[in-house]
Each structure stands twice: as structure tokens, then as C-alpha cells.
Structure 1
């Protein structure tokens, strides 16, 4: 589950020729070319080449270009952060640490370096040190990727099964960038894992509003979320969309074979149940739901297996209660998945719906471009029954 997002080195595509000027010697009409590029510019170009080679797996050429960059600009922060990335890639973690420390010794408040260092430390399971670097990056006033660093910090805690802290930092990420769909989906997954399906559904709706195109992962998670709540009709709608939009995906194949019996979010749910926070939450629910059964609770506290068994009953009871409180007829939103050649006019004609209505329901204009895979609502989503 390595979904950390280090800030990518932002390098301008530099051309060495662009820094050249033409001069003439006094008394001589022969033009000469003088290189006016700074050493930092040359070093940045070498770094860009090195990262390209590293991405292709050519570590020899990558290091060669980094060494050349270092010769041109030994005190340039990006040189040392690039070296750190290189060392991590080739498994030289000790040298990576030294490179990050060298970069920070040159510029202690470089937020990108602090964020990337935090990502590296988290991958090494050094949570406390990673959190320190992330928070330093976030504290830099000019830093623009605050939401990204909060998300990285949340994922770092999630990796350590610190679910409460992960939720807090995901909320921070959402506050700083409410339209960041990736964070919304992470929050849906987290709430699903904790068994808080109502909260998961709220974040799913926010996620759907922030994206124009679904992913196979999101559709599979939505299917499982509604299935867990007993809302089979809504769940099946997502299942159909999954197979139609991503027929070759792992999720679609699993849906056809076993109705997505196990997805990554289910694995996270198992981790939550075994974690200290999950067990504490389970004990709390048992005490509240069965205050008179002290002996059963005492036994449940002794072994995890007993806790798990004791928790099954209130969960099942809660599920029945939730299902019973819902209307018997669930209203789902009909949708159309855009195919090659579709237009707003052809869709409105196919379903006998006014084109203006489709535009209004989907916040589209006549000039809007439809892409294959886009999901178009065929009724007003705001008037659909809350499910």
C-alpha cells in the first residue's frame, strides 16, 4: 500500500542553446558564441536528465549526470535531494539520509525537501521522524502543497495502523484542498475499514462530486459499501458501471467471479479489527450494548478471538436495524456511460430527455466535451432519495 506522493522535482525544461548570445570581437566580423547559462541552470539540466535515466532504470547514466550536476553546483539543494532519490532507488538508504541532511544543511526550510525526506523516512518505518519532517514542511508559509503533505502524513500513520491519527490528518488535507479527489477516496476507504458506513457514504458522495470520471477502484469500493448496508439495488448499479467502464480490470473480473468478496479496503478493515484502536472501539461498543453481561465482557477482554465473536452480534443487529429503517424501495440514479461517438444530443435523443435537463443535472454546457468513460446522470441527482 505504498501510495505516498513525494513532491516531484519541478524542473524547467532548459535548453543550453537558449542561454547563448552572439558577440563580435573588435575589428573582427567573425561571430563567436558565449555560453551565458549559469552553473545552476546547467546543474538543473543534468538533474533532469538523471531523473529521466533513473525512471528508465539506467542507474549508471543517472549517477553520471548527478555527479556532473554536483560539479557545476555543489551547493544547490536540488542536487542533493536528487542524489537522495537516487540512493533510495538503488537501496543505499544510509547514503540517502546523508544526502537529505546535506540538502537541509544548505536550506533548512526547503519544504519540498522536508516533504520528500518525510516520505523516505516513512518508507523506512521511522514514523516519528517522518512526522517531524512533514510538519516542518507544512509550517513553511510559502509552501503550496500542504494538502499533499497532510495526506502523506495520514498514509504514514495508516501504514502503522494508527487509524485515529490517519483520520485526523486526512481531514486536514481535505480542509486545505476540498477538491482533492484522491484524499476523499482515501477517507472513504478508511471509514469503510472502521465500519462507519454512513460516514463512508458521505465522503463517497463528495468524491463523486469532485471527479468527472470514476476509477475501477472507486466503483468497486462503492459497490462494497452499499452492499454492506444491504442496499443491493444501488450496489448492483455500481457493479454494472464497473463491468461496462472497466471490463478488463481486476475489479471487474472479481465482481463477475465472486462479487468482489475481498478488496484492499477489506484487508484494511481486518487490520483495523486487530489494531489496538479497533479493539478498544470493540470493547467500548460491547460495554454499551451489553451492560449487564460483565462476565462476557471480561472474557472478551482476555482474547481477541472472543472480542471478535462478541462484536459480531451487535454488528449484525445494527445492520438489521439500519436496513429496517430504510424505505423498502430504493431510488437509484440512472446513468449513461459515454461511449465513442456520443454527444449530448444523441444521449438526449436515446433516452428521450431534454438536452437542457441533462446539461443542468451534470453541470454541462453545449460546448462541453464528453470523453469516453464519463458518467452522465439521466435524472436530477439532488432529488434522488437519500440512500
Structure 2
């Protein structure tokens, strides 16, 4: 239990447990703080974990993430690199570092880390790492690899809403409207089931697909939603330009 407003925080101690168990207690404590956005408070259990094992990839990864969230990119990268030096096979850390590099538009550096994370068959976050990798390839301009990777995501998680729309947009852009419709329909079913909500990207794709399908009523519906929900989006600007 975390009490706010106290000057001293008691970190749980497992005196006779193994080093790994003692680290895990502190990691859980830190994750609870991170979940609440209490980044400064998360540092104490994480530094405690490093006192048990200065090379703990779990603690180094989370400390890097904490500094990243606080906007200290120099320290964040320092800890990500320490994590990699300690255990280059630590998939969660490779995924987080890849995202860190993507945020800074360093795609050529980011993609290999995301690829390493997504190639670990036992990593529970593998579908998300693959999705990140596909996005990295897409931002780097390699649409062929991006499409191939999004398809890998759908083999693992067929109802990934982000992947359905990203892949639908990619295949639409290269002229495969039929497959784009199929993917968009799968996404729309998730929307109808209230599992996900439309984004500006999905609505703009819906407008274009409906126009091609000669369904002006649906095109108008998607356009109205785009205008009302995302009036400042680049997709709405593209829609307005398409009417001129």
C-alpha cells in the first residue's frame, strides 16, 4: 500500500529470499508507482533493486523508462545502454529502447531493437513489439517490410485494431481496394461491438473506400464523423482538399 504525503517510504524487504526475488519485490513496487504516474517515487525501489544487482536488466529498463517519462532523454538513453550491456536478450528492454529511438525519429537505430524483441517467441509482449516494428518500418519508408510485419501481427492477434487499419491503409495506397475493404470491415466489426473507436485515419480511409464503392451515403457519414471528432487532424484537411 502506498501512502501519499509521507516523507519516508518503506520499501518491502525480503531478507531471506533469493536476490532475484528481492529484485522482483522492488520491481513490483516501482511498477505500481509508474502506473500512477509517480515517477520520482519509482526511483527508490529501482535503485534498491540495483543495490541487490547493479546489472539487473529489469531495474535498468524501468529506470530508463522513468527518466524518459520525465523528459531526461540523456539519462534515459544511458540506462537503456546499461541495460543492453547487461543483457542484450532482454526483450522488454529492447522494445522500450526501440520505442525511445522511434520517438526521436532514429528509425534506422530503432528497428533492429524492435526486431530483436519481436523475435523472442517467449516474450509476452511480442505482438506489440511486432506492431511497433511494423510502424518503425513504415516511418522509415520501407512499406514492403511494414506490410509483411503487420501481416505477422495479424497471425498472432487477428483483432489488432491498429494493425487492421494500418495494413488496410497500406494496401489501399498500392491499389488493392478489395483487400483494404476486407480489413476495414474487420475493423468496423470491432467498432460495432464497441471494442474500439474510430480514429481520424480509419474515418478518412472509410471515406475513400466508400467513394470507390459508390456509396455516397456512407462516405458522407464517415466524413461527418471525421469533421466532428477530429476537426484539427491532417486527415480532415485531406478530406477538405479532396472536395475542391
Task: Name the TM-score class by shorter chain.
Answer: 0.7 to 0.9
Structure 2: stretches of 5+ with no match in the other structure: 1-10
What residue number does 1:253 align with?
A: 228
1:225 to 204, 208, 211: 208
Deviation of residue 80 (structure 1)? 0.7
Asked whether 1:128 is paired with 2:128, we answer no
Deviation of residue 144 (structure 1)? 4.1
Asked whether 1:44 is paired with 2:24, we answer yes
Asked whether 1:215 is paired with 2:222, we answer no
State whether residues 193 and 266 of structure 1, in contact with CA within 8 Å, keep that contact through their aligned partners in structure 2.
no
Which has the higher relative contact order, 1 or 2, with Cα contacts under 8 A spaced 6 or more apart?
Answer: 1
2:80 to 88, 91, 100: 100
Structure 1: stretches of 5+ with no match in the other structure: 1-14, 20-34, 243-250, 255-259, 270-311, 313-387
Q: Which moved more, 1:98-107 or 1:126-135?
A: 98-107
Map 1:224-373 to 2 at 5 A. 224-229=207-212, 230-236=214-220, 251=226, 253-254=228-229, 263-265=233-235
State whether residues 50 and 62 of structure 1, in contact with CA within 8 Å, keep that contact through their aligned partners in structure 2.
yes
Distance 2:167 2:156 in 1: 15
Note the alpha carbon deviations across 1:164-210, whole angstroms, 9 max, x for none.
43223222222333232321122234445566544321211232355
- Judging by fraction of residues, say which structure has more helix: 2
Shift in alpha-carbon separation, 1:159–1:265, aligned structure 2, 3 A? farther
What residue number does 2:95 align with?
A: 115
Distance 1:264 1:68 in 2: 46
State the aligned residue count.
226
What residue number does 1:86 align with?
A: 66
Deviation of residue 215 (structure 1)? 1.0
Q: Could you say what secondary structure the match of 1:109 adopts?
A: coil
Deviation of residue 55 (structure 1)? 4.8
1:60 to 35, 40, 63: 40
State whether residues 111 and 137 of structure 1, in contact with CA within 8 Å, keep that contact through their aligned partners in structure 2.
yes
Q: Could you say what secondary structure the match of 1:86 adopts?
A: helix
- Judging by fraction of residues, say which structure has more strand: 1
RMSD: 3.5
Q: Could you say what secondary structure the match of 1:75 adopts?
A: coil
* Max Rg structure: 1
Shift in alpha-carbon separation, 1:57–1:209, aligned structure 2, 3 A? closer
State whether residues 85 and 96 of structure 1, in contact with CA within 8 Å, keep that contact through their aligned partners in structure 2.
yes
Distance 1:40 1:180 in 2: 34
Deviation of residue 79 (structure 1)? 0.7
Deviation of residue 265 (structure 1)? 4.4
TM-score normalised by the chain length of structure 2: 0.73
Deviation of residue 155 (structure 1)? 1.3
Note the alpha carbon deviations across 1:57-105, whole angstroms, 9 max, x for none.
5443222332222223323220111111122222332332332232233
